[in-house]
């Protein structure tokens, strides 16, 4: 088989690019759809569960799918600088792709609420990082204003090319399963990704690539769940900082996806998120970030309503290495320190 050439090359006929578009790629996409039998067993009744592990993208999150498109199109349009607000992952992806394309990336982040791995990435890739004393929702308002008044291209998911790139994850799932899953469980923050997945499933359905569409099950953190309560949350709080968002930009689109797919929005508590996070790592060998684990936490929360024999895909949006602080703080496993560097001491510490 030919080597993987990245999303734009692979799905070119479904994307708004031309032969003139300068493709900025890190060969993102083609991430594995991994069976998770221990989670399926918690549900029983012949239900099959897979995770779409998008934490294996080049910068460690699904944002790379959107960013290869957004940066390629910005470059095609002659942009020299891009800007985004971010809870961390978008800033890392924007920085990597912008620098690779020779553009200048600016990022606005909520001071104190970005996981250390994401901040390290943005800085090392060479973004100009501005931390504001406000939350993500405020940062997004500011960058939208910036892009309106200054010569700088906005690369948040309100940029339509972001969703075009991200819809390819749905294509990959159908390409592997041979059809769409019965349920698609997905973390929801700014609500771009759930919108993008639905676009992808619908487009593939229209092309005759799948004979059905999934129910779209969106999960938000309980302290940041405006789509569940129906009202913006002025002060969102959750340890899943990636989805610490109170007023999603794609609110109406997300509601339309829910309604068209007969889906639902539900909230999961930080404790439920952490339980799923630990279960994925310790039973399945899959290390995702806390926000990503909300898809599995949500599935387990509503497991009694999954139809027998159904196929379920949970999206794992980001890599666990993004947020080592949370892993160490909330891990029930401890290491034993202070052991003498001797065989006997080690054997004794091991319980022999
Ligand atoms: N999971 C992770 C790991 C994320 O980083 C995000 C969003 C989401 C889920 C939610 O996706 O916003 O499309 O509903 N992160 C953005 C960022 C806000 O700035 O990195 P969404």
Q: What is the mean pLDDT of each run of 10 residues along the chain (352 residues)?
A: 94 98 98 98 98 98 98 98 98 98 98 98 98 98 98 98 98 98 98 98 98 98 98 98 98 98 98 98 98 98 98 98 98 94 97 96
Quick one: pLDDT at residue 26?
98
Atom of ligand 1 nearest to the CA of 92: 20
What is the predicted pLDDT for the residue at 102?
98
Q: What is the pLDDT of residue 141?
A: 98
Q: Are 219 and 188 in contact (CB under 8 A)?
A: yes
Pick left, alpha or beta for residue 239 (phi over 0 → left; psi -120 to 50 → alpha; otherwise beta): alpha
pTM, rounded to two decimals:
0.98
If you measure from the C-alpha of residue 89 to the centroid of ligand 1, how many angstroms do you get, rounded to a whole number? 7
CA of 323 to the centre of ligand 1 (A): 14
> 193 CA to middle of ligand 1, Å?
8
For residue 78, how many other CB atoms are within 10 A of its CB? 8
What per-residue confidence (pLDDT) applies to 2?
Answer: 86
Please give the number of the atom of ligand 1 that sits closest to the Cα of 90.
Answer: 20
Residue with CA closest to ligand 1 atom 19: 86
Tokens 């619908």 belong to residue: 202
Residue 60 region, left (φ>0) first, then alpha (ψ -120 to 50), else beta?
A: left
From the CA of 196, give the closest atom in ligand 1.
13
Angle CA(270)–CA(271)–CA(273) in degrees, nearest 5? 60
Q: Note the Cα 16 to chain centre separation in Å.
A: 22
Give the annotated binding-site residues. Answer: 89, 189-193, 317
Ligand 1, atom 4: nearest CA belongs to which residue?
242
166, 187, 246, best to mutate for ligand 1 pocket (most atoms within 8 Å of CB): 187
302: closest CA among 219, 195, 214?
Answer: 219
Backbone phi and psi for residue 35, each to the nearest 5 degrees, phi listed first = -65, 140
Q: Dihedral of CA 50/36/117/87: which sign? A: positive
List, as residue ranges, the binding site for pyridoxal 5'-phosphate. Answer: 89, 189-193, 317
């Amino acid at each position: 088989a030919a080597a993987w050439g990245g999303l734009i090359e692979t799905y070119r006929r479904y994307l708004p690019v031309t032969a003139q578009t300068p493709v900025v790629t890190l060969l993102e996409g083609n991430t594995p759809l991994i069976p998770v039998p221990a989670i399926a067993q918690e549900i029983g009744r012949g239900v099959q569960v897979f995770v779409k592990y998008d934490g294996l993208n080049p910068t460690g999150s699904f944002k790379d799918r959107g960013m290869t498109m957004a940066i390629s199109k910005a470059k095609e349009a002659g942009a020299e600088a891009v800007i985004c607000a971010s809870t961390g992952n978008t800033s890392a992806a924007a920085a990597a792709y912008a620098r690779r394309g020779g553009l200048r990336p600016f990022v606005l982040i909520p001071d104190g609420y970005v996981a250390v791995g994401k901040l390290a990435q943005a800085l090392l890739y060479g973004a100009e990082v501005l931390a504001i004393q406000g939350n993500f929702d405020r940062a997004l308002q500011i960058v939208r204003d910036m892009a309106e008044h200054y010569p700088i291209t906005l690369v948040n998911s309100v940029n339509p090319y972001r969703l075009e790139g991200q819809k390819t994850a749905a294509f990959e799932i159908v390409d592997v399963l041979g059809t769409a899953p019965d349920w698609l469980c997905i973390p929801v923050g700014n609500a771009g990704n759930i919108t993008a997945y639905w676009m992808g499933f619908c487009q593939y359905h229209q092309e005759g690539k799948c004979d059905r569409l999934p129910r779209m099950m969106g999960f938000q953190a309980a302290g940041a769940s405006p789509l569940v309560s129906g009202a913006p949350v002025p002060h969102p709080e959750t340890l899943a900082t990636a989805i610490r968002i109170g007023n999603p930009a794609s609110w109406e689109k997300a509601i339309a996806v829910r309604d068209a797919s007969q889906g639902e929005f539900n909230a999961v508590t930080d404790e439920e998120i952490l339980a799923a996070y630990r279960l994925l790592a310790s039973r399945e060998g899959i290390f995702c970030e806390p926000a990503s684990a909300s898809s599995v936490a949500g599935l387990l929360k509503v497991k009694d309503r999954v139809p027998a024999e159904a196929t379920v895909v949970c999206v794992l949006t980001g890599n666990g290495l993004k947020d080592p602080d949370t892993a160490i703080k909330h891990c029930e496993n401890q290491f034993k320190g202070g052991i003498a560097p001797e065989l006997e001491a080690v054997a004794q510490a091991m319980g022999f």
